[in-house]
C-alpha cells in the first residue's frame, strides 16, 4: 500500500511561531522547522503535504516551504475545536486515503542509518495495513506533555505493540492503572512521537464526534484513537530515533543541538560546546580556601 | 484442631519438639500467612504453655536471665537476629521461664512485623500509587494543577470544595476489617457500612456531611495548610516540612498532600526546593492552599472521621491535579477505590492505621464491603489469600427501601459516650486470636459471620426491632467472647440505665469501632426516639460524673443527629463570587490578615476580602464570623484565674513543701540531679544474687506461724493507692484504684474492690478480719472516699482506713538534657519506619516546647490535678506515721505486729500465712517478695551492689546491661515488722503521738535516700476531644531503697508470678487472663459481702 499524503498540523494557539523558527539542518543550511518537516515526509516517499493552519495566516508560512520537493497545500482550521478537529480540517485534502500525520512543533533525529523516522513508520504501516502510531518510551515525569498508549507486545523483534488504550496527557496515576505495557521499564510509558499513520476509519470517528460537537467541547485525537483501538488492529512502533519537543523549556535549543550533532558539522558544534563549557568554568568564582 | 486441644497434656519435652518443628516450618514456608501463623503458634507455646509445663516439671528455674545483646536486637527491631540468639541460648542452657518469655515476645513481634510489612508492600504495589515512590527529583515531577483552577476569575482562583460523609458499621464487623484478617480470610471479612451526615444534637441545626476539604491556587509560592476545627494555619516554604507530621497539628493535611501525589513521597529527603515544585505544579510565583473542616465533630467518635477527612482531602487534591475523572460531582467507582488506597497510604505515612472499611464515607449510602480473594493480577497473589483492598457493593433502594432507611433513622440514637481510648492493643489481640484460631474465638467469629447475614436480612426486611436485637446479640455474644475488653463498666451501666428507663421500647445496643465507650448506637421504638435523644444526654452525663475518676473520659458525652448520606464524597467548584473557603476559615485568618499592612496583601487576598464581605451580607455563617471578629482580634488570655487559685489551694492543702521544691528545681536546673544522675556511679559493681540470698519456699512451720499471727489479728494490709494510672491510661489522670479493670463473677470490679475481696477472704479463713489501710494522695483521696461510701465500703467499713497523703510535688517543665537522655540514652523499643519518623518529629516539637516554656520551671499549663504529682511510694509508709494512721491501727489492734504493703496493681498479693511465717522467722525489718524476671519486667531488681544485697531501681542501674544480669524482679509487695521499722526511724510506739518527733525522724531518714528525677507523660485536653501528651519532670523517693540502709535488715522470698505480677498496662490484661493468673487471683477472693 503506497502512502502518498501527509498532514502537518500548525494551527495550535501557542505553536504558530514554532514551524517558522529558523534551524540549521544537518548540512549546515538555514531552514525553517516547517521545511524540515516537509522534507522528513518527502524523504519517506510522501508526494503531497497538507499543512493545517489558522485562518488568514498562510502568507506567514509561504517562505518556510521554499526548496521543498513535495507539493504543499495549506488548509485552514475554521475554529479551534481541538487537535482532532485540526486533523479533520484536512479531510477534503485526504479523501479516503491513508496518510501520515505529523505535528509541527517537533524535530526528529533518526538513529537508523539511511532511514528517516517518517520512513520507518511508513514502512511498518504499509506492511501491516493498519493504523500505526510512532511512540517512544518516555519517563512518567513527562506524561503531562504527551499522549500515551497502553498495549501488548505484537512483534518483539520490530518493537511493535498492539495498542489497547490511548490517553492524552495522562497523570501517572492513570497511566499506572491503564497504560502499563509489558516489556517497558517501570516508570516509562509509550508516548506519542508526533507521527501517526491514520486511515479513513479514524477520520470517520472524528467526523462523527465533530457532528456531536457542542460549544466548550474539546475534539481531541487521542480519544478518537482510543476508540479506534477498540475497533480494529492499531499498532504502535517504537522508533529508532528521537523526537524533540520544541515547545518545552529549552526545547528549541536542545532540538537544534540534537540535529546539529547528528549532521556533518558535529565536530565543529562539539568544539563550540566544549569552549563554552571551559569558558563557563573559568568564570566560576574560585572556591574559598579552607 | 485448636492449639489448646493439641497442647493439652503434652510434656515439656513434647512441647519443645513441637516448637522446633514449627520453627523449621516457618523458616521453610514460602507462604506469608503460613509463616505468620507458625510465628503466632510459637508465641502462644512460649507464652502460655511452656511456662506452665516448666512449673509442673521442675518448678521455677531461677538463675536464668535474658541476654542483653539479644534484647538489644529486639529493641532495634532486628527480630530475626534476636530469635536466633535466644534459640542459641535455649540450645546451650535449656529453656527457662525468662527465656520462654523472651522467645514469646520475639516470635510475636516478628509475626506482627511480617503482617505490617505485607500491608505496606501491598499499599505501595497498588497501581496508581507506585509512581509516587519513584519520583525522587523535581525533573521527574509529573503533576500539574488543571488549567481551570489556574485561571483567576473576578480576582480569585476557583475553589474545589469536597464534602465527604463519615461511616458507621451497622453489623459491627467483629473487627474483620483489620487488613491482616481480610487478607488471611477474605470470606470472613464482611461489613455493612453506611455513609452518614452528622450534627451534634442541641448545637447544630441541620445534619450535613461532616467532612469538608477546600483546595485552591494562591498567588504566593508556598503551601498554606489550615484546619478550621483546630484553629491552626501554617505556611510551608520548605519541602522537608511537608514530611514533618508532628511539627504542628496539620499532619493529616500533610499526609493528604503526599498520598495524593501532590508532594510525591519519593521527594522526602531529596533536598529539592518546594518553590521549584510549585512552579511545575501551578506556575511561577504561585502556590496552593488546602484547608480542612470537620464541623467540630469530637475526636474518637468511632465513625472514622479522620480517615474520611483524609479521603476527602486526597480526593480534592486528586481532582485538582486531574487524577480523577471529574473535577466536580460524585466520584466514580475507580476513583473512589483509588482514593481509598491513597487514604491507606496516608494513614501508613502518619504512623496510624484504620480498617479497610474506614474510608466508607467516600462511597454513597449503604453498602456491603467484603474481602476479596487475590487473583493473578493482584500484587498479593501467591502471598495472601485476600487482597488488600476489599470490594464495595452498593445496596440501592431496591435492596433496602427508602422506608427502611427512614425507619432506621427514626429509631437509632447515635452517641459519643466521652471515653477516648487507644484501641491499638485491642486490634493486636484480635489479630492474634484470629490467626491462632483458638476454638472459642473461632467459633465466635463464625457466629458473628452468621449474625452479619441476619442483620443484613433484618435490614432488607425493614425489621428494625429485630436489627436491634441482633446488634445487641453481636455485642453481648461473639464480640465479648473474642475480646472481653470491648465492653467497659461505663458501657454496661449505660445499657442497664437505658434499659431500666425505656424497658421494652429499648430495642438494642450497637457498638461502633474497636471498643465501646466512645461511639455507640441505641435503637428505640420510633415513638420514643425524640424522648430518648434528650434522655441519653442526661443519662450519660450523670454516669460520666460518677465514673470520671475511674475511667478516662476525654470529653462530655454528646448525642448526634444523623442522616444517611447518598452521595459519598462529592465536590463543587466554587467560582467567582462563591470562590471562598469555609466560614470558620475566615474566623481564623481574618485577624491575621487585618494585622498585616494592607499594601502587603496580594491582589487576590484583597479581592477575597471583598467577596467575603458580600457573602457575609447574605449568609449567616459568614456573618457570624464578622460578628466575632473583634473577640478574635483580641483573644482572651489562656489563664483561668479560678484554676490558678485552685492549684494554689491544692498545694497548700496537701502538704506541699515549697522549700524542698525550690531546692529540687534549682538542683535540676544546674544539673545536680537529673535522669543521668539517677544512676549509681559507674564504678559500682552490680551482680546477681548468690545461692541462699533468696528463699524459694517456706515450710509447714512457717505456715503454722503465719496462720497463728493472722488468727491473732496481728497483721494489717496496706494498699498503695496514691497513683494516677499514668501508664495504665497513658497519662489520662484517673484513679487507678478505682479503675473497673476486669470482670469477676459477672461484673467489672475495681482494683480496690479486688483487694478488699482478698482481705474479706482472709478474714473468713482466719476468723479475724484484718484491718486494711488504703494510702491516698491529693488526686485519689476524695474519689476513693466517695467511691467507698457509695459502695458501702463493700461491707468492710469496720476494717478499711484511709491514709491521706501528706506529701505533694509540683511538676516541672523538663530539662532538654533530660528529654534527650530519656530518648537517646535509655533503652526503648524502636518503632516501625513511619511511626519512628513520627516519633522523631514529635520529640523535636517537645524539645522546642520545653525550651519555649522555660526548662525547669513550674508546670502550670494544665488542669491543677495534672500539674501536681505524688512524690513516690517511699512517702506512703512515713505518712502512716505522720498522719496518725499507724497510731490508730495500733490503738484498734494493739497486738498488730506486721503490715503487708503492696502496690494497687499487684493483684495477686494476699495474706499468705506461709510467707508471713517465713518473714517472722527471719526477724527481718522488711521482707520483699520477688519474682523470677521475664523480658517484660523492666525497672530494676534484686542485686548485689558492691557485694551488698539490695533492691535496685532500673533508673539507678549504672549500666543498661546490668539489669540483664539479675534473676529476680521486685513485686514491691513487702512485709513490714512494725516494731523494727519504728526503730529504723529511731522511734518507739509511744513516740507516735509526738508529731514533731515523728516529723523530724521522717525527715532525717528521707535525707539518706536518693531523689530520683523521672519523666511522666500527662495529657492536656483541648478542643473537641483533642489530647496532647507532654513529658513533665517530677521527683520521687522509692520504698525499695530502704533495702540499701545497713540498719534495715531485709529478706527476700521468691513468689509465683500470678502472685507477684503487676498490671501496669491494659495491654497486659489479655495475657494475664489467658495464662490463668486471673483465675488464680479470683480464687483468693470472696466477693459476697
Place of cell 491521706: B804
B775 in reach of chain A (CB within 8 A) = no
- A123: domain range? 5-283
pLDDT at residue B628, as a whole number: 76
- B620: domain range? 590-633
Q: Could you give the CA distance from residue B712 to residue B113 in angstroms, rounded to a whole number?
A: 56
* Each residue's pLDDT tens digit, A60-75: 888 888 878 889 999 9
Does residue B897 share a domain with residue B867? yes
- What cell does B319 get? 481532582
Angle at B578 between CA B576 and CA B581, to 5 degrees: 120
Does residue B185 share a domain with residue B36? no
Q: Could you give the CA distance from residue B442 to residue B433 in angstroms, rounded to a whole number?
A: 8
Q: How far is A17 from chain B (nearest CA, A)?
A: 22
* Each residue's pLDDT tens digit, B219-242: 999 999 999 988 889 999 999 999
For the purposes of burial, counting CB atoms within 10 Å of the CB of B10, is it exposed (0-12), middle (13-18) or buried (19 or more)?
middle
Does residue B111 share a domain with residue B165? no
Sign of CA dihedral B471, B473, B474, B479: positive
Residue B741 belongs to a domain:
yes
pLDDT at residue B556, as a whole number: 87
Does residue B355 share a domain with residue B442? yes
Does residue B192 share a domain with residue B114? no
pTM: 0.83
Does residue B1042 share a domain with residue B938? yes
CATH code: domain of residue A33: 3.90.550.10
In 3D, which of A47, A65, A38 has the Cα closest to residue A4?
Answer: A47
Q: Could you give the CA distance from residue B121 to residue B134 in angstroms, rounded to a whole number?
A: 14
A172 contacts on B by Cβ (under 8 Å): 131-132, 135, 142-143, 261
- ipTM surpasses cut 0.90: no
Please count the structural domains in chain B.
4
Q: Could you give the CA distance from residue B549 to residue B784 in angstroms, rounded to a whole number?
A: 9
* Each residue's pLDDT tens digit, B984-1034: 999 999 999 999 999 999 989 988 999 999 998 888 877 766 778 899 999
DSSP state of B912: -
CB B306 within 8 A of CB B297: no
pLDDT at A289 over 60: no
- How many interface pairs between A and B have CB atoms less than 8 angstroms apart? 52
**How do strand B329-330 and strand B287-293 relate by DSSP bridges?**
unpaired
The SS3 assignment for A248 reads: coil
CA A236, chain centre distance (Å): 13
Does residue B226 share a domain with residue B78? no
- What cell does B453 get? 447475614
A186 contacts on B by Cβ (under 8 Å): 130, 134
Q: Could you give the CA distance from residue B911 to residue B765 in angstroms, rounded to a whole number?
A: 10
Report the residue of chain A nearest B135, measured CA to CA: A141
Best residue of B142, B314, B340 to probe chain A, by most A CBs closer than 10 Å: B142
Record: contact B142-A186, CB cut-off 8 A:
no
Place of cell 507455646: B45
B318 in reach of chain A (CB within 8 A) = yes
Q: Could you give the CA distance from residue B284 to residue B221 in angstroms, rounded to a whole number?
A: 7
More confident residue, B802 or B647: B802
Please count the structural domains in chain A.
1
* Each residue's pLDDT tens digit, B618-633: 998 899 888 777 666 6
Does residue B195 share a domain with residue B94? no
Does residue B89 share a domain with residue B34? yes
**How do strand B190-200 and strand B558-564 relate by DSSP bridges?**
antiparallel
Out of B128, B130, B144, the one facing A144 most closely (by C-beta) is B144
pLDDT at B884 over 90: yes
Q: How many CB atoms lie within 10 A of CB A29?
A: 12
Residue A289 belongs to a domain:
no
Q: Could you give the CA distance from residue B175 to residue B541 in angstroms, rounded to a whole number?
A: 29
Element containing residue B258 per DSSP (H, E):
helix B251-259
B218 forms bridges with which residues in the sheet? B287
> What does residue B179 show for φ and ψ, rounded to 5 degrees?
-50, -45
Q: How far is A61 from chain B (nearest CA, A)?
A: 30
pLDDT at residue A53, as a whole number: 94
In this prediction, residue A285 has a pLDDT band, given cuts at 50, 70 and 90, of low
When the pLDDT of each residue in chain B is averaged and rounded to a whole number, the result is 90
Residue A159 belongs to a domain:
yes
pLDDT at B722 over 60: yes
Does residue B81 share a domain with residue B154? no
pLDDT at residue A14, as a whole number: 67
Q: How many CB atoms lie within 10 A of CB B297?
A: 23
Does residue B174 share a domain with residue B115? no
CB B983 within 8 A of CB B947: no
CB A103 within 8 A of CB A34: no
> From the CA atom positions of chain B, what is the Rg in Å?
31
Residue B823 belongs to a domain:
no
In this prediction, residue B606 has a pLDDT band, given cuts at 50, 70 and 90, of confident
More confident residue, B1048 or B778: B1048
B131 contacts on A by Cβ (under 8 Å): 140, 172-173, 175-176, 187
CATH code: domain of residue B934: 3.90.550.10
Q: How many CA atoms lie within 13 A of A67 on its CB side?
A: 10
Candidate from B202-211, B778-787, B824-833 with smallest mean pLDDT: B824-833
pLDDT at A4 over 50: yes
Residue B155 belongs to a domain:
yes
- What cell does B295 get? 464541623
Torsion of CA A108, A110, A116, A117, to 10 degrees: -60
Record: contact B140-A186, CB cut-off 8 A:
no
Q: Which of residues 578-617 of B touch A (CB under 8 A)?
A: none
pLDDT at residue A269, as a whole number: 94
pLDDT at B644 over 60: no
B123 in reach of chain A (CB within 8 A) = no
Q: Could you give the CA distance from residue B51 to residue B54 in angstroms, rounded to a whole number?
A: 5
Q: How many CB atoms lie within 10 A of CB B962?
A: 24
B1008 in reach of chain A (CB within 8 A) = no
pLDDT at residue B857, as a whole number: 93
DSSP state of B1040: G
Q: Could you give the CA distance from residue A173 to residue B1044 in angstroms, rounded to a whole number?
A: 67
CB B905 within 8 A of CB B1062: yes
Of B513, B530, B564, the one marking the end of a domain is B564
pLDDT at residue B731, as a whole number: 66
End-to-end CA gap in chain B: 42
Residue A290 belongs to a domain:
no
Q: Could you give the CA distance from residue B25 to residue B705 in angstroms, rounded to a whole number?
A: 54
In this prediction, residue A241 has a pLDDT band, given cuts at 50, 70 and 90, of very high
Question: What does B693-720 look like in DSSP terms, one character per residue?
Answer: SSB----HHHHHHHHHHHHTT-EEEEEE
Residue A131 belongs to a domain:
yes
Residues sharing a CB contact under 8 Å with residue B923, sequence separation 6 or more, in sequence order: B977, B1049
Place of cell 484480635: B430
Candidate from B63-67, B112-116, B405-409, B778-782 with smallest mean pLDDT: B63-67
pLDDT at residue B55, as a whole number: 65
Residue B186 belongs to a domain:
yes
Residue B1034 belongs to a domain:
yes
Report the residue of chain B nearest A145, measured CA to CA: B142
In this prediction, residue B639 has a pLDDT band, given cuts at 50, 70 and 90, of very low
B128 in reach of chain A (CB within 8 A) = yes
The SS3 assignment for A113 reads: coil
pLDDT at residue B451, as a whole number: 95
Best residue of A168, A172, A185, A248 to probe chain B, by most B CBs closer than 10 Å: A172
More confident residue, B300 or B725: B725
Residue B95 belongs to a domain:
yes
Q: Could you give the CA distance from residue A119 to residue B232 in angstroms, rounded to a whole number?
A: 62
* Each residue's pLDDT tens digit, B329-353: 999 999 999 999 899 888 877 766 6
Q: Could you give the CA distance from residue B490 to residue B468 in angstroms, rounded to a whole number?
A: 20
The packing angle between helices B32-44 and B424-436, to 10°, is: 100
b/e code B739-778 from CB counts within 10 Å (16+ = b): bbbbbbeeebbbbbbbbbbbbbbbbeebebebbbbbbbbb
Residue B645 belongs to a domain:
no
Report the residue of chain A nearest B140, measured CA to CA: A141
For the purposes of burial, counting CB atoms within 10 Å of the CB of B895, is it exposed (0-12), middle (13-18) or buried (19 or more)?
exposed
Of B104, B125, B146, the one marking the end of a domain is B125
pLDDT at residue B640, as a whole number: 45
What's the per-residue H, E or C state across B475-513? HHHHHHHHCHHHCCHHHHHHHHHHHHHHHHHEEEEEECC
Q: Could you give the CA distance from residue B624 to residue B88 in angstroms, rounded to a whole number?
A: 71
- What cell does B960 get? 543498661
Question: What does A125-192 look like in DSSP terms, one character per residue?
Answer: HHHH-SEEEEEEEEEGGGGGGSEEEEEEEEETTTTEEEEEEEEES--HHHHHHH---TTSPTTEEEEE
Q: How many CB atoms lie within 10 A of CB B382?
A: 11
Residues sharing a CB contact under 8 Å with residue A111, sequence separation 6 or more, in sequence order: A240, A241, A242
* Each residue's pLDDT tens digit, B23-44: 999 999 888 888 998 999 999 9
B321 in reach of chain A (CB within 8 A) = yes
Does residue B269 share a domain with residue B134? yes
B289 forms bridges with which residues in the sheet? B216, B224
Element containing residue B162 per DSSP (H, E):
strand B159-164
What Cα–Cα distance (Å) separates residue B811 from each residue in B662, B1014, B1028? 12, 10, 17
B803 forms bridges with which residues in the sheet? B775
pLDDT above 90: percentage of residues in chain B = 63
Residue B1016 belongs to a domain:
yes
B25 in reach of chain A (CB within 8 A) = no
Amino acid at each position: 500500500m503506497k502512502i502518498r499524503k501527509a498532514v502537518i498540523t500548525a494551527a495550535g494557539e501557542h505553536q504558530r511561531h514554532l514551524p517558522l523558527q529558523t534551524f540549521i539542518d544537518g548540512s549546515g543550511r538555514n531552514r525553517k522547522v516547517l521545511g524540515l518537516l516537509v522534507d522528513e515526509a518527502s524523504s519517506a516517499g510522501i508526494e503531497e503535504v497538507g499543512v493545517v493552519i489558522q485562518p488568514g495566516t498562510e502568507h506567514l508560512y509561504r517562505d518556510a516551504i521554499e526548496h521543498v520537493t513535495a507539493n504543499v497545500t495549506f488548509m485552514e482550521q475554521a475554529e479551534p475545536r481541538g487537535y482532532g478537529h485540526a486533523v479533520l480540517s484536512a479531510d477534503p485534502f485526504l479523501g479516503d486515503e491513508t496518510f501520515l500525520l505529523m505535528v509541527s512543533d517537533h524535530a526528529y533525529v533518526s538513529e537508523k542509518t539511511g532511514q528517516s523516522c517518517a520512513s520507518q513508520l511508513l514502512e511498518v504501516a504499509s506492511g501491516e495495513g493498519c493504523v500505526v502510531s510512532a511512540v517512544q518510551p518516555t519517563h512518567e515525569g513527562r506524561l503531562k506533555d504527551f499522549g500515551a498508549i497502553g498495549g501488548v507486545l505484537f512483534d518483539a523483534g520490530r518493537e511493535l505493540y498492539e495498542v489497547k488504550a490511548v490517553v492524552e496527557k495522562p497523570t501517572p496515576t492513570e497511566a499506572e492503572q491503564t497504560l502499563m505495557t509489558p516489556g517497558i521499564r517501570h516508570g516509562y510509558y509509550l508516548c506519542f512521537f508526533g507521527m501517526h499513520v491514520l486511515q479513513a476509519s479514524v477520520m470517520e470517528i472524528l467526523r462523527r464526534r465533530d457532528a456531536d460537537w457542542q460549544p466548550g467541547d474539546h475534539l481531541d485525537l487521542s480519544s478518537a484513537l482510543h476508540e479506534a483501538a477498540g475497533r480494529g488492529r492499531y499498532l504502535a512502533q517504537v522508533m529508532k530515533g528521537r523526537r524533540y519537543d520544541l515547545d518545552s523549556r529549552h526545547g528549541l535549543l536542545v532540538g537544534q543541538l540534537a540535529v546539529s550533532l547528528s549532521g556533518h558539522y558535529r565536530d565543529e558544534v562539539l568544539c563550540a560546546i566544549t569552549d563554552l563549557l571551559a569558558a563557563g568554568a573559568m568564570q566560576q568564582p574560585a572556591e574559598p580556601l579552607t | 484442631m485448636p492449639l489448646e486441644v493439641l497442647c493439652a497434656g503434652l510434656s515439656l519435652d513434647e512441647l519443645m519438639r513441637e516448637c522446633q518443628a514449627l520453627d523449621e516450618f516457618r523458616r521453610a514456608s514460602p507462604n506469608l500467612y503460613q509463616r505468620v501463623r507458625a510465628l503466632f503458634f510459637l508465641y502462644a507455646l512460649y507464652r502460655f504453655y511452656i511456662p506452665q509445663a516448666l512449673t509442673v516439671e521442675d518448678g521455677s528455674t531461677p538463675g536464668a536471665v535474658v541476654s542483653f545483646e539479644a534484647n538489644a536486637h529486639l529493641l532495634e527491631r532486628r527480630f530475626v537476629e534476636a530469635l536466633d540468639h535466644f534459640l542459641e541460648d535455649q540450645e546451650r542452657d535449656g529453656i527457662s521461664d525468662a527465656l520462654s518469655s523472651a522467645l514469646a515476645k520475639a516470635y510475636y513481634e516478628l509475626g506482627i512485623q511480617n503482617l505490617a510489612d505485607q500491608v505496606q508492600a501491598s499499599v505501595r504495589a497498588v497501581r496508581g500509587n507506585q509512581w509516587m515512590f519513584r519520583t525522587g527529583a523535581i525533573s521527574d515531577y509529573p503533576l500539574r494543577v488543571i488549567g481551570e483552577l489556574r485561571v483567576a476569575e473576578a480576582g480569585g482562583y476557583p475553589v474545589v470544595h469536597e464534602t465527604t460523609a463519615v461511616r458507621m458499621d451497622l453489623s459491627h464487623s467483629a473487627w474483620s476489617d483489620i487488613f491482616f484478617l481480610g487478607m488471611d480470610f477474605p470470606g470472613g471479612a464482611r461489613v455493612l457500612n453506611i455513609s452518614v451526615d452528622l450534627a451534634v444534637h442541641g448545637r447544630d441545626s441541620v445534619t450535613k456531611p461532616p467532612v469538608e476539604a477546600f483546595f485552591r491556587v494562591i498567588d504566593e509560592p508556598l503551601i498554606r495548610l489550615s484546619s478550621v476545627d483546630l484553629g491552626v494555619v501554617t505556611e510551608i516554604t520548605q519541602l522537608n516540612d511537608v514530611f514533618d507530621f508532628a511539627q504542628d497539628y496539620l499532619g493529616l493535611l500533610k499526609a493528604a498532600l503526599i498520598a495524593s501525589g501532590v508532594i510525591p513521597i519519593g521527594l522526602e529527603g531529596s533536598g529539592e526546593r518546594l518553590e521549584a515544585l510549585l512552579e511545575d505544579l501551578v506556575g511561577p510565583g504561585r502556590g496552593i492552599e488546602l484547608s480542612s473542616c470537620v464541623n467540630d465533630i469530637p475526636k474518637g467518635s468511632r465513625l472514622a472521621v479522620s480517615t474520611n477527612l483524609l479521603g476527602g482531602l486526597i480526593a480534592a487534591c486528586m481532582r485538582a491535579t486531574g487524577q480523577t475523572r471529574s473535577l466536580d460531582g460524585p466520584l466514580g467507582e475507580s476513583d473512589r477505590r483509588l482514593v481509598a488506597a491513597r487514604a491507606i497510604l496516608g494513614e501508613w505515612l502518619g504512623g496510624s492505621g484504620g480498617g479497610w472499611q474506614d474510608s466508607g464515607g467516600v462511597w454513597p449510602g449503604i453498602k456491603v464491603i467484603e474481602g476479596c480473594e487475590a487473583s493473578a493480577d493482584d500484587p498479593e497473589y501467591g502471598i495472601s489469600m485476600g487482597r488488600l483492598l476489599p470490594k464495595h457493593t452498593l445496596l440501592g433502594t431496591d435492596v433496602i427501601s427508602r422506608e427502611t432507611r427512614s425507619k432506621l433513622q427514626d429509631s437509632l440514637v447515635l452517641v459519643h459516650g466521652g471515653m477516648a481510648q487507644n484501641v491499638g492493643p485491642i486490634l493486636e489481640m484480635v489479630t492474634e486470636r484470629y490467626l491462632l484460631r483458638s476454638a472459642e474465638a473461632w467459633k465466635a467469629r463464625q457466629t458473628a459471620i452468621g449474625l452479619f447475614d441476619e442483620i443484613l436480612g433484618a435490614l432488607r426486611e425493614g425489621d428494625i426491632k429485630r436489627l436491634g436485637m441482633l446488634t445487641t446479640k453481636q455485642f453481648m455474644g461473639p464480640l465479648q467472647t473474642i475480646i472481653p475488653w470491648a465492653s467497659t463498666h461505663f458501657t454496661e451501666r449505660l445499657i442497664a440505665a437505658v434499659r431500666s428507663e425505656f424497658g421494652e421500647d429499648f430495642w438494642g445496643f450497637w457498638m461502633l469501632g474497636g471498643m465501646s465507650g466512645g461511639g455507640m448506637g441505641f435503637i428505640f421504638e420510633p415513638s420514643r426516639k425524640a424522648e430518648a435523644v434528650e434522655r441519653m444526654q442526661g443519662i450519660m452525663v450523670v454516669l460520666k460524673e460518677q465514673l470520671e475518676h475511674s475511667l478516662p473520659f476525654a470529653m462530655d458525652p454528646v448525642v448526634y443527629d444523623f442522616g444517611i448520606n447518598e452521595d459519598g464524597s462529592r465536590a463543587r467548584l466554587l467560582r467567582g463570587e462563591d470562590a471562598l473557603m469555609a466560614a470558620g476559615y475566615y474566623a481564623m485568618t481574618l485577624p491575621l490578615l487585618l494585622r498585616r499592612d494592607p499594601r502587603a496583601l496580594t491582589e487576590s487576598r484583597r479581592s477575597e476580602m471583598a467577596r467575603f464581605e458580600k457573602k457575609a451580607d447574605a449568609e449567616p455563617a459568614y456573618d457570624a464570623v464578622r460578628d466575632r471578629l473583634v473577640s478574635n482580634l483580641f483573644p482572651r488570655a489562656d489563664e483561668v484565674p479560678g484554676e490558678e487559685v485552685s492549684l494554689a489551694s491544692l498545694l497548700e492543702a496537701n502538704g506541699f513543701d515549697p522549700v524542698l521544691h525550690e531546692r529540687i528545681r534549682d538542683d535540676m536546673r544546674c544539673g545536680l540531679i537529673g535522669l543521668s544522675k539517677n544512676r549509681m556511679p559507674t564504678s559500682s559493681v552490680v551482680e546477681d544474687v548468690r545461692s541462699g540470698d533468696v528463699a524459694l519456699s517456706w515450710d509447714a512451720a512457717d505456715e503454722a506461724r503465719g496462720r497463728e499471727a493472722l488468727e491473732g489479728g496481728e497483721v494489717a494490709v496496706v494498699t498503695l493507692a496514691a497513683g494516677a494510672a499514668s501508664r495504665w491510661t497513658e497519662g489520662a489522670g484517673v484513679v487507678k484504684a478505682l479503675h473497673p479493670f476486669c470482670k469477676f463473677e459477672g461484673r467489672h470490679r475495681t482494683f480496690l474492690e479486688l483487694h478488699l475481696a482478698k482481705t474479706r477472704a482472709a478474714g473468713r479463713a482466719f476468723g479475724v478480719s484484718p484491718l486494711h489501710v488504703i494510702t491516698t494522695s491529693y488526686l485519689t483521696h476524695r474519689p476513693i472516699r466517695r467511691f467507698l461510701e457509695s459502695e458501702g465500703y463493700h461491707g468492710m467499713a469496720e476494717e478499711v482506713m484511709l491514709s491521706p497523703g501528706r506529701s505533694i510535688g509540683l511538676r516541672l517543665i523538663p530539662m532538654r538534657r533530660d528529654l534527650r537522655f530519656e530518648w537517646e540514652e535509655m533503652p526503648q523499643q524502636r518503632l516501625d519506619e513511619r511511626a519512628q519518623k513520627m516519633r522523631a518529629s514529635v520529640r523535636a516539637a517537645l524539645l522546642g516546647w520545653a525550651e519555649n516554656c522555660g526548662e525547669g520551671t513550674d508546670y502550670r499549663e494544665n488542669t491543677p490535678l495534672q500539674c501536681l504529682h505524688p512524690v513516690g511510694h517511699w512517702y506512703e509508709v512515713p505518712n502512716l506515721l505522720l498522719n496518725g494512721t499507724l497510731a490508730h491501727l495500733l490503738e484498734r489492734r494493739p497486738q498488730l505486729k506486721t503490715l503487708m504493703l503492696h502496690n494497687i496493681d499487684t493483684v495477686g498479693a494476699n495474706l499468705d500465712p506461709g510467707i508471713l511465717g517465713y518473714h517472722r522467722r527471719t526477724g527481718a525489718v522488711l521482707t520483699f517478695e520477688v519474682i523470677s524476671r521475664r523480658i517484660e519486667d523492666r525497672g530494676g531488681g534484686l542485686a548485689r551492689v558492691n557485694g551488698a544485697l539490695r533492691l535496685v531501681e532500673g533508673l539507678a542501674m549504672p549500666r543498661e546491661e546490668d539489669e540483664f544480669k539479675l534473676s529476680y524482679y521486685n513485686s514491691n509487695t513487702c512485709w513490714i515488722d512494725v516494731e523494727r521499722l519504728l526503730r529504723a526511724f529511731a522511734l518507739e510506739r509511744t513516740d507516735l503521738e509526738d508529731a514533731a518527733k515523728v516529723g523530724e525522724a521522717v525527715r532525717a531518714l528521707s535525707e539518706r535516700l536518693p531523689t530520683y528525677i523521672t519523666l511522666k507523660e500527662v495529657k492536656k485536653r483541648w478542643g473537641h476531644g483533642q489530647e496532647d501528651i507532654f513529658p513533665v519532670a517530677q521527683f520521687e523517693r522509692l520504698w525499695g531503697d530502704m533495702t540499701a540502709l545497713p540498719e534495715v535488715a531485709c529478706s527476700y522470698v521468691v513468689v509465683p508470678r500470678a502472685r507477684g505480677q503487676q498490671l501496669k498496662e491494659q495491654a497486659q490484661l489479655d495475657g494475664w487472663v489467658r495464662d490463668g493468673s486471673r483465675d488464680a487471683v479470683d480464687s483468693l477472693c470472696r466477693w459476697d459481702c
